[in-house]
Structure 1
Amino acid sequence: MEPRQSRLLAVEDAGFYPASPSSEFIHSSVLSLCVLVVFESEIPIDDSETMTLLKKDFLPVNPRFSSLLLKDEKGKQKWKRVEVTLQDHVIVPTFPVGLEPDAYDGCFKEYLSKIFMEKLPEDRPLWEIHLFKYPTRDAAGIAVFKLHHAIGDGFSLMGALFSCLKRADDPSLPLNFPAASVKECQLRGNGVVRLWRGVSGALGGCWNTSFDFCRSVLMSTVMVDDRSAIRSGTMEVEKEPVSISTVTLSLDIIRQIKSNIGGTVNDVAVGTIFYAIQLYKQRTSQNSSGTRMTALVLLNTRMLSGYQSLNDMLRQNTWGNNFTFLHVGIPSCKDAEKADPLAFIYKARKTIKRKKNSFAVVLTGRLLQMLRSIRGPEAASRFIRGTLENTSTAISHLIGPMEKMDLGNHPVKSFYFTVAGAPQSIGLTMVSYHGNLRLSVAGEKGFIDSELLTSCVKEAFDKIYTVACGKNGIKQR
């Protein structure tokens, strides 16, 4: 068929450039991931300027938005610049007129689940926009950007989208993002103390690296998490329908908790999720099942302090997929109601901090490159798929702007994102925006009760706040 023939690219053709290894890993017959970003508008959607906005602001952000991902005669994937027919990328679904917001809310959730499952057409650039022009409980209208992960990771894709958005209060000013500083370790004491700390730190680092790397390889090949309330064990679970729910948490309260007990915003968020999972297991009467559960916490390997412009990313060679997974065991308890809520944050903080100081992520990257060189990109893709398939969930956290955004003269009330195509029963994603943290739960429909889980997140968050801050915002002892 013509579309399939067009997927092969002759080496002498002009206008193409090689795909990165990471793009090859997550765009294959083994694994194909997409990112869906959902923008909730404060006003009804007016799509009269959509094509102009896309042509003027969106396409110029990165050439991959105007490229096909093809294979050359040697089977290597390459990006090929093409003319983009914008009308093919903008979808406006129709529903009955005159329904109540609650009814349209259900329509949108079903529609989001539908496009979550659909594959992007391979005969045009790997992105599309869906405009839901009906009022829901949370928005007057909704715009959904669906982009293939091969174009870039969440950091790159969000950076691209944010470069198209303006500040709602003053479009002439840039969006601001929370600073994420990387603190250098400072050794204090006399020379002997510094020497001892350096030696012990190096020995500990070697042990951590060896342990984490070996465990990572085993978890990607032979070790498998137990079946539990959040892992069904269904083969090719990514082909099962999903239900998507969200919950909003206050960043001010998260920072207050962080200030009282230490750690980072991410530590508090991940610890809250871990506690919520235990509450969810108890609510679903599966508290005794699945003692071994592992979360893959995504780590951005750029070590940057915020979103960068496209030129900065290209100059520093950081555009694309620059992330890795940290295997973090999800703590279990016999009775979630009697457990110490803060223990889950302490555990998350300790494990994530230790793994960040391990070189296992570097070794895993080298292993993937070796697999690609010896057995081809499909082998590396199978390794990544095994990493996802054998664990219980993946948790991704991105940083959004502090000010309210405007998308084509549509003030953005809130937004969230989710990842499609991962072979897991549940995926958890978080993004901060305008003083809040929005958590999205994408769960295997009929197995995961995503609404119940988001309510457990809210309950866990409230309990953590009560214990950490008390009535006067002071940690109770």
Structure 2
Amino acid sequence: MVTDEDGVKRWKRVEVRLKDHVHVPVFASGMSTQFYDECLDNYLSKMAMEQLPQSQPLWECHVIKYPTSHAASNIIFKFHHSLGDGFSLMGALLSCLKRADNPSLPLTFPSVQLHTNKNGRNFSMFRNVLRIFSLVSNTVSDFCSSVVKSSLVEDDKTPIRSGHSGVEFLPVSIATMTFSIDRIQQIKAKLGVTLNDVITGAIFLGTRMYMETTSQGSGNACSTSLVLLNTRMYGGYKSVQEMLKPDAELPWGNHFAFLNIPIPKLRDAEEEKDPLQFVFNARKIIQRKRSTFGVYLTAKYLQLVEKFRGSKA
């Protein structure tokens, strides 16, 4: 990253040397999978605290050639967010893959299907008016709450928010957990939600249970999560070549906004009796916020803040 004559930061084209980016750690050989599980967790924790070298492109690839309880080996990618958002980086990763049936054909995925009215009838005028009014009011409410939450109102102090300054520089410990995709599919079918809804709800539930276990009563404290939402108006896989075109429908880069999502409280769902209800409650909150233009207004607001106060604002 360099600064031009106008003071604008731009990427500088450099030569990439793979040996500077691909790392293959060496552990003790002939040990148990439990031993390598611990080695992997320790390696992830150490890697998370290390800053990417500023003298080279901001990405790394770590190849773990040892069997763990969940895989014969692991590949870990570490990217700086300035390179692009999750959509861009996953597109770059998928662009490296080839089809097993015919490598000469481009990689494809099922297209996103939009939900339509089954009987083909249009909504009544009255219902359309109600929807527009609800959309406008929810948009104003979500945008104002996002601005207030990010600058004025603070969450309660809990095991996941100490309120102390400089916590981002403290050592971290990373642990991994594996979920069965079949079990996630079962929950998805039972609740009639998406895979993302199930995963997000499970993360929220696990967070609340950790909070309650660590500090009794904190499972019902006021806590907010920041959920990143893709602001591109179209879904689906695009290759790197397609995203880099001048007028690309899905351009490369960072195109996301933050959703301030209040984490459902344990008492709201009596999660010990019905954890599925907790997941469903989380889904309803996210669905409501996604159904407004608040996220797009928040994205524009952040762009204005960056423009007038700089990227570190």
* 1:423-438 map, 5 Å: none
1:365 corresponds to 2:299? yes
Cross-structure match for 2:253: 320
Instruction: Evaluate the alpha carbon distance shift between residue 316 and residue 179 of structure 1 in structure 2; reply closer, same or farther with a 3 A threshold.
Output: closer
1:47-88 CA distances to partner (integer Å, 9 max, x unpaired)? Answer: xxxxxxxxxxxxxxxxxxxxxx22224432101111222222
Aligned pairs (5 A) from 1:147-186: 147-167=79-99, 171=103, 175=107, 177=109, 179-183=111-115
Amino acid at match of 1:306: G
Say yes or no: does 1:310 pair with 2:243: no
Percent of aligned pairs sharing the same letter: 50
Structure 1 residue matching 2:82: 3-state secondary structure: helix
TM-aligned CA distance change 1:354 to 1:84, over 3 Å: same
Quick one: which of 36, 55, 70 aligns to 1:138?
Answer: 70
- Change in CA separation of 1:257 and 1:141 when aligned onto 2, cut-off 3 Å: closer
Q: What does 1:33-44 align with in structure 2 at a 5 Å threshold?
A: none
For 2:311, which of 370, 377, 391 is the aligned residue?
377
**Alpha carbons of 1:273 and 1:289: their partners in 2 closer, same or farther (altered >3 Å)?**
closer
> Shift of residue 269 of structure 1?
2.3
**1:208-247 equivalent positions in 2, closer than 5 A:** 208-247=138-177
Matched to 1:343, the amino acid is Q
Answer yes or no: is the 8 Å Cα contact 1:255–1:265 preserved in 2.
yes
Shift of 1:257: 3.0
Structure 1 position 196, deviation (Å): 1.0
How far, CA to CA, are the matches of 1:268 and 1:141 in structure 2? 27
Greater percentage in strand: 1
Structure 1 gaps of 5+ residues are: 1-68, 380-477
Q: Which residue of 1 aligns with 2:214?
A: 284
Q: Deviations over 1:220-274 (max 9, x none)?
A: 1111211223333342322222222233333344333333332222222222333
1:301 paired to 2:301: no
CA contact (8 A) 2:212 2:219 kept: no
Per-residue deviation, 1:152: 0.8
Matched-pair contact (CA < 8 Å) for 1:93–1:131: yes
1:2-401 matches, within 5 Å, as: 69-167=1-99, 171=103, 175=107, 177=109, 179-183=111-115, 194-288=124-218, 291-314=221-244, 315-334=248-267, 336=270, 338-379=272-313
Q: Aligned partners of 2:43, 2:184: CA distance in 1, in Å?
A: 32
Length, aligned pairs only: 309
1:82-124 deviations in Å (ceiling 9; x for gaps) = 1222222222333334433322322222121111111111111
Aligned counterparts of 1:160 and 1:145: Cα–Cα separation in 2: 12
Deviation at 1:187, TM superposition (A): 9.9
Distance 2:303 2:119 in 1: 35
Measured on the aligned residues, the alpha-carbon RMSD in Å equals: 2.8
CA distance in 2 between partners of 1:138 and 1:174 (Å): 30
Write the deviation string for residues 264-319 of structure 1: whole angstroms up to 9, x where unpaired: 22222222333333333343342346610112222112243322111222332521
Deviations 1:327-373 (A, max 9, x none): 22111134955443233233222222221121111211221222233
The amino acid of 1:284's aligned partner reads T
Distance 1:290 1:241, change over 3 A: farther
Unmatched runs of 5 consecutive residues or more in structure 2: none
Structure 2 distance, partners of 1:338, 1:89, is 45
Distance in 1 separating the partners of 2:67 and 2:194:
36
Q: Which has the higher contact order (CA 8 A, sep 6+)?
A: 1
Contact 1:282–1:336, Cα closer than 8 Å, also in 2: no
What TM-score does the superposition give when structure 1 sets the normalisation length?
A: 0.59
Task: Find the aligned partners of 2:118 and 2:77 in 1 and give their Cα distance.
Answer: 43
| Contact kept in structure 2, 1:229 and 1:286, CA below 8 Å | no
Alignment CA distance shift 1:100-1:276 (3 Å): closer
- Deviation, structure 1 residue 173: 5.9
Quick one: which amino acid aligns to residue 266 of structure 1?
Answer: N
Question: Partners in 2 of 1:346 and 1:188 — Cα distance?
Answer: 28
1-side partners of 2:149 and 2:3: how far apart? 31
When residues 154 and 204 of structure 1 are mapped into structure 2, their CA distance, relative to the original with a 3 A threshold, is same
| TM-score normalised per structure 2 | 0.86
CA distance in 2, matches of 1:363, 1:337: 34
Distance in 1, matches of 2:278 and 2:111, equals 25
- Relative to structure 1, the CA distance from residue 73 to residue 363 in structure 2 (aligned partners, 3 Å threshold; closer, same or farther) is same
Distance 1:337 1:290 in 2: 12
